[in-house]
Amino acid sequence: MSDRPRKTAGAADDPYREADLGRAYDGRLMRRLWGYIRPFRSTFIASLLCLPVTAGLSLLQPYLLKVAIDEYVSVADTRGLLVIAVLYAISMIGEFTFLYLQYYLTMSVAQRSLAALRVDLVSHLQKLPARFFDRNPVGRLVTRLTTDVDVINEMFAAGGLTMLMDAVTLIGIITILLVIDWRLALVTLTVTPVLAIAVNFFRIHARNNYRRIRDRLARLNAYLQEAIAGVSVIQLFAREEQSFARFRELNDHHRAAHHSANIYEAALFSVVEAISSISLALILWYGGGQIIAGTLAFGTLVAFIEYSQRFFIPVRDFSSKYAVMQSAMSAAERVFELLDRSVDIESPPAGKVVDGRGSVEFDGVWFAYNRDQPVLRDVSFKVEPGEKVALVGHTGSGKTTVIKLLNRSYDVDRGRVLVDGVDVRDWDLAALRRRIGVVLQDVFLFSGTILDNLTLGRDDVGRDAAIAAAEAVHADVFVKRLPGGYDELVRERGNNLSVGQRQLLSFARALAYDPRILVLDEATSSVDMESELLIQDAVERLMAERTALVVAHRLSTIERADRILVMHGGEIRESGPHAELLAKEGLYYRLYRLQFAGTQGARETTAAGAE
Amino acid sequence: MYRLWGYVRHYWPRYAFGGLCLVVTASLAMAVPYLLKRAIDAIEAGMPFRQVAIFAFSIAGIAVVQAVVRTFSRALIFNVGRDVECDLRNELFAHLETLPVSYYQNQQTGDLMSRLINDVTAIRMLLGIGFLNLLNTPIYYAYGLTIMLALNVPLTFAALAPFPILLFVVKRVSRRMMEQTLRVQEELSNISSLVQENVAGIHVVRAYQAEQVAVDRFARRNQILTDETLELARVRGQLGPIMRTASGLGVLVVLSLGGSQVIRGAMSIGDLVAFIGYLNLLAWPTMAMGWMLSIVQRGRAAMLRLEQIFAVVPEIRDEEGVRPAPALRGGIEYRNVSFSYPDATAPVLDGISFRIEAGQKLAIVGRTGAGKSTLVNLLPRAFDVTGGEILVDGRDIRTLPLHQLRSAIGFVPQDPFLFSTRVDDNIAFALDGNGNSAGRDAAVRRAAIAAGVDEDVSGFRNGYETVIGERGVTLSGGQKQRLTLARALAATPQILVLDDALSSVDTRTERAILSHLSESLEGRSSIFIAHRLSTVMDADLILVLEDGRIVERGDHAALVESGGFYAQLFREQQLEEEIETA
């Protein structure tokens, strides 16, 4: 897919804009979809086989009518008529049975293959590199999995296969008409060019309208959602009127798009109906003359009328089905594009697993998020097993990046990162990450119970182990006070927990994971004094008997660290224990005064004051 | 339902005309099988060809007229449906904006969204396709029955016998279909939030090797969605065959009974063909009738749910007798203010009294949960006091127009919410848009500089035109806080409130911002909630809050002298500095 220029390149600027709708059929995409249908191919083939049966039975009915009139009614054969009636009933029951069967089988294939596609997408997301998530907002990825997959489903439900069936039906009708009476058939079919032109005209307008509607609806809903989420801000600044004016404008645009769509749809519907009536008139006019002239049977005329009526239903629905196909194709394109994103950071084929004591070494590491803007420049340091090292530096100095390279969230551009003497790129990725416990600044809690959030659903961490971990970091004090204890549900992103409580939970999570190497990015946001003391103690317990690399924001943490690395502009500028570095009165001394004496000092003292 | 008429009323001429066109369309449609019958009878009777041709041309002529009228009927009726949908949404939106914060604390955004989208859609369906069929069905039946009865009474009854059953079945099936559709939508939204969470927390999932767990969890939810969707397909699939059964059964009856009548000479072939034609014409309205009954049901339920929203009276609004003050200067006084949440036992604030003159600075210090945020949120009436009163320039704030009160306050909330529009639009949020754009740009720039965020913004690729959020730049916590500060400053309010609004800003930046602020705050009142004492020291009045009460008050010097909590805080801080400089 990457060898083709992306049509939707501009969409990044405006996600509400519908990608240009292209073809209604794309063989390449269809083949990929087939990969998902394949496991259910016998069901799929069965559903396909239903198509001609349904169409055939449906087309048999007008013919039975013709036979009834011409061969039995006209010769007063009541018994023969009853036989036809029974045949008619059988064909009807058969048609409906197969119609239902076809729809249900198709949907069951569609649902099961799309379910597999969704699982594939989610599995793939788990492997995509951090870089990918830096550039792709959550909302867009969710859309791929839900809306886009659903649009593909519509292709099965209301588009592709029924279009195939329609085509079979149309060809069948034309053939039958020609066979019964080719002259009358040609007269009847004279309307088809007009029909084709009309339908094509409306198809183009329907497509444009459809795109406009999607676009405007997306804008309207996005605005609505944000206005509800930000209603307090709107009210605080007394901006209700302005906000409403904007909503009304978007709402009006949305309505206008539907208004014009309604007009086109109404016209299409009416025109097709009219052409159908005109063909009826043609049949009467020409066929009537033939009957009078004695060259046409009555039943044939009736059959023609019936067939021509059946001819127009699929034609009328064509443009909407075409639109469904088009959007299904562009949805499939987007979905597969996501699946084709390369994983970049993978476990090497024969990844090493080393049972070392937990040393970490950076050896001449260079790294940049954006080319030309290195965030780390030739960083080298070594952390011995069991050593506690604090990283200190101004915002943007590269501290956090060091952490991210360690567990291969990103890979280095130059140099090496070694864990227990082995380059992280040679490590078995799972084993590497199993050795490293990461606690990040913004604590992420999942919906589920407190316990779920400690074990993350992994079965190698039992309930008792999780609770023991929570006790060790003082999280059990507040958890026990919750009505449901460890089974209390965590609300949306942990809204029912305080910042401090969430941090303690993330410590418990790391402790339960029991890593050899602990990586901690301390939160900068302030918490109340009680929590602060608990957190300080918890951090100490967490680091005990482990190699620890901490981006430090707490005075207590830097004071306890064996060594402090001072980073500035992507380089390590100073290194040594707290007191020694202070005495040097260099960069660390200045940083200390700015960061720790200002904020942390105040917080520490308030904490002390609370005692 | 009565309320609904209020919306339709604005459009009644178009709606009525659409209805009229519909009557004409239906009448013309019903003429076709009749003309067909006459033509066939003429052919059978061996009348001259000219006679047959006249009928044929009449059918074609009717078709053309009908096309025009039908376009009008459908477009007009469906468009009125869209109009009402649009009005209803507008009104809901306007109403939602008047509801206070307390309402939203008990509501989920998703639920409100679903009402504004799904319920409003249900009402549009009711007024559009619902109304169309409500009108269509009786017309079709009136014509169809009259003509069919005139042609052949027993055959009419026989042919229509299956229709009532059909009506009942379609109604049931379509109701189940709608219920199932709702269930599928719910599962879709469940799966969305699951994916959203997974992606947002992917770094955790990965760090703890929980990928497979996450995929399994998704797969289970996915299976539920698949099952529900298949169930929907099962129900939906029934509808088509049932629809077709209507006309099919009728044709079968007409063919067997009518056919033998023709054989006996009791009926003409033309009548037989016309009968089949009418049956086909009646099949759709009958089907639609059943479908429509469930649309009406759903529309009524939707209207009820919307009325629940309309019925919520905004607790905080302009009471009668409110009159604007000449111009607010910014003197603030709390008199014995208390506040508690409806179901809570302990008050959040209790007996709060203080006063600052216009142009003074108030600082509030205290632990998390002491009630600091609540105290400042009462000022712009995000909540109303449950006891005591708050005065601005000597007037109880409940006697001031809300708009005037809130316009006078620049509020920087604890949670920095920004809209996903351009940076300059966010900063100019509280500015009136009609001013000249150069003036607006200058104000935006000034505010950004004062809030210490100008440098950051200038570094963005599109500067002040950069879009915030998923569609554009991702901001750090500190940048968000400084932008919300700029937003509050841009409108040069008389009163500035910072609710711990610089917590994610580093100390050096905070100092720069504060020195800027002291210039631009000249002559304006301000309230600071802060953790860092450096922010607080120069305030005219400092309050120390504990458990909803003021435990200490005074200026910095006085508080230090009194030797309480504040003094202790300050001493510790000094000690720290001494150690540092030693």
Question: Are B572 and A288 a contacting pair at CB < 8 A?
Answer: no
Q: What is the DSSP letter of A7?
A: T
Nearest C-alpha neighbor of A581 from the set A392, A386, A307? A392
For residues B376-403, one letter each, b for 16 or more C-beta atoms within 10 angstroms of the residue's C-beta and e for the rest, the string is: bbbbbbbbebeebebbbbebebbbbebe
Write out the CATH class of domain B2-311. Answer: mainly alpha
Of B78, B90, B369, the CB nearest to A248: B90
Nearest to B94 among A244, A285, A440 (CB): A244
Residue A251 burial (CB count, 10 A): 22
Q: Looking at the complex, does the CB of residue B17 fall below 8 Å from at least one CB of chain A?
A: no
Measure in Å the smallest separation between the Cα of A380 and chain B Cα atoms.
23
> Is-contact B85 B7, C-beta < 8 A?
no
Question: In this complex, do A255 and B223 lie within 8 Å of one another by their Cβ atoms?
Answer: no
Q: Do B565 and A242 touch (CB under 8 A)?
A: no
Task: State the Cα–Cα distance between residues A316 and A331, nearest whole angstrom.
Answer: 25
Other C-beta atoms closer than 10 Å to the C-beta of A183 total 13
C-beta atoms of B32 and A259 within 8 A: no
Between chain A and chain B, the number of residue pairs with CB atoms below 8 A apart is 424
- Cα–chain-centroid distance for residue B201? 27
Long-range (24+ apart) CB contacts under 8 A made by A539-542 are A539/A507, A541/A472, A541/A473, A541/A511, A542/A439, A542/A473, A542/A507, A542/A510, A542/A511, A542/A518
Strand order in the sheet with A388-393: A436-439, A517-521, A547-551, A388-393, A563-568, A571-576
**Do A233 and B417 count as a contact with CB atoms less than 8 A apart?**
yes
- The answer to whether residue A141 scores a pLDDT higher than 70 is yes
Q: What is the dihedral of CA B204, B207, B210, B212, to 10 degrees?
A: 110
Q: How far is B148 from chain A (nearest CA, A)?
A: 18
Instruction: Point out which residues pair with B352 in neighbouring strands.
Output: B337
| Residue range A265-323, pLDDT digits in tens | 899 889 988 998 899 899 989 988 888 888 888 888 888 988 988 888 888 777 778 87
Structural domain B415-492, CATH architecture: 3-Layer(aba) Sandwich (3.40)
Residue B439: other Cβ atoms inside 10 A? 10
Helices (H), A283-297: 288-293
Residue A594: which pLDDT band, with cuts at 50, 70 and 90? low
Q: Which tokens go with A305?
A: 């009328």
Contact (CB<8Å) A288/B43: yes
CA distance A522 to chain B (A): 13
Q: Is A553 helix (H, G, I), strand (E, B) or coil?
A: coil
How close is the nearest chain B Cα to the Cα of A570, in Å? 19
Q: Which of A292, A304, A455 to mutate to test the interface with B (most CBs of B within 10 A)?
A: A292
Name the residue ranges covered by the structural domains of chain B: 2-311, 328-408+495-582, 415-492
| Amino acid identity for residue A321 in this structure | K
Report which secondary-structure segment, H or E, holds A571.
Answer: strand A571-576
Indicate yes or no: CB of B233 within 8 angstroms of CB of A234: no
Point out the residue among A119, A138, A237 whose CB comes nearest to the CB of B218.
A119
Give the DSSP letter of residue A159. I
Q: Does B145 touch chain A (CB under 8 A)?
A: no
Please indicate whether, in this complex, the C-beta atoms of B191 and A145 are within 8 angstroms of each other: yes
Query: CA nearest A510 in B: which residue?
Result: B208
Please tell me the distance in Å from B354's CA to the nearest CA on chain A: 23
Alpha-carbon gap, residue B341 to B348, rounded angstroms = 8
Q: Which residue has the higher pLDDT, A495 or A336?
A: A336
Would you say domain A360-367+375-445+520-610 falls under CATH 3.30.70.60? no
Whether residue B64 lies within 8 A of chain A, CB to CB, comes out as yes
pLDDT of residue A259: 93
Residues 181-210 of B with CB under 8 A from A: 188, 191-193, 195-210
Question: How confident is the prediction along chain B (582 residues), in pLDDT tens digits per residue?
Answer: 677 888 899 999 999 999 999 999 989 988 888 888 888 888 878 788 888 899 999 999 999 999 999 999 999 999 999 999 999 999 999 999 999 888 887 777 777 887 888 889 889 989 998 888 888 888 888 888 888 898 889 889 888 887 888 788 888 888 888 888 888 888 887 888 888 888 888 888 888 888 888 899 899 999 999 999 999 889 888 877 877 776 677 778 888 888 888 888 888 888 887 888 788 788 778 777 777 877 888 888 888 888 988 999 888 888 888 888 888 899 999 999 999 987 777 888 999 999 999 999 999 988 767 889 999 999 999 999 999 999 999 999 999 999 999 999 999 988 888 888 899 999 999 887 655 678 888 999 999 999 989 988 988 888 899 888 755 666 777 888 999 999 999 988 999 999 988 877 766 777 788 888 888 788 899 999 987 777 888 899 999 998 899 999 999 999 999 888 888 778 766 654 554 444
- Extract the tokens encoding B455: 């440098």
Chosen from A237, A449, A497, A519 to mutate, greatest number of chain B CBs within 10 A: A237
| pLDDT score, position A395 | 65
pLDDT at residue number B368: 67
Domains B2-311 and B415-492 share a fold: no
Torsion of CA B51, B53, B59, B61, to 10 degrees: -110
Query: Quick one: pLDDT band at residue A13, thresholds 50, 70, 90?
Result: very low
The sign one gets for the Cα dihedral A170, A175, A176, A177 is: positive
Q: Which residues of B touch A232 (CB under 8 A)?
A: 101, 104, 382, 413, 417
What pLDDT band is residue A493 in, cutting at 50, 70 and 90? low
CB contact, 8 Å: B74 with chain A? yes
C-alpha distance from A513 to closest chain B C-alpha (Å):
7
ipTM of the complex: 0.85
At how many degrees (to 10) do helices B49-98 and A240-282 cross?
Answer: 170
Note the pLDDT of residue B218.
Answer: 92
Q: Which long-range contacts (CB under 8 A, 24 or more apart) does B105-109 make?
A: B109/A225, B109/A228, B109/A229
Chain A residues in contact with B244 (beta carbon < 8 A):
92, 95-96, 99
pLDDT score, position A8: 34
Task: Provide CATH code, domain B328-408+495-582.
Answer: 3.40.50.300
> CA separation (Å) from B530 to A164, A214, B498, B517?
69, 46, 8, 15
CA distance A62 to chain B (A): 10
CB contact B269 to A (< 8 Å): yes
- Name the residue in chain A with its Cα closest to that of B83: A255
Kindly report the nearest CA distance between residue B263 and chain A, in angstroms. 5
* Cβ <8 Å between B406 and A298: no
Q: Considering only CA atoms, which of B272, B27, B298 is closest in space to residue B138?
A: B27
pLDDT, one tens digit per residue, over A511-568 is 888 899 999 888 766 566 677 778 888 888 888 889 999 988 777 788 889 999 998 8
Encoding tokens for residue A135?
């550039």
* Lowest mean pLDDT segment, chosen from A9-23, A141-155, A388-402, B558-572: A9-23
- Choose from A122, A260, A399, A491 for mutation: most chain B CBs within 10 A: A122
B74 compared with A477, residue with greater pLDDT: B74
CB contact under 8 A, B209 and A458: yes
pLDDT surpasses 80 at A342: yes
Q: Which fold has domain A32-181?
A: ABC transporter transmembrane region fold (1.20.1560)
Cβ-based contacts of A271 with chain B (< 8 Å): 67
- Tokens representing residue B246 in the block: 């209507």
| Number of CB atoms found within 10 A of residue B204's CB | 23
pLDDT at A375 over 90: no
Q: Please classify residue A585 by burial: count the beta carbons closer than 10 Å to its beta carbon, then call 0-12 exposed, 13-18 middle and 19+ buried.
A: exposed
Our CA-based measurement puts residue A370 at a distance from the nearest CA of chain B, in whole angstroms, of 14
Q: A356: helix, coil or strand?
A: coil
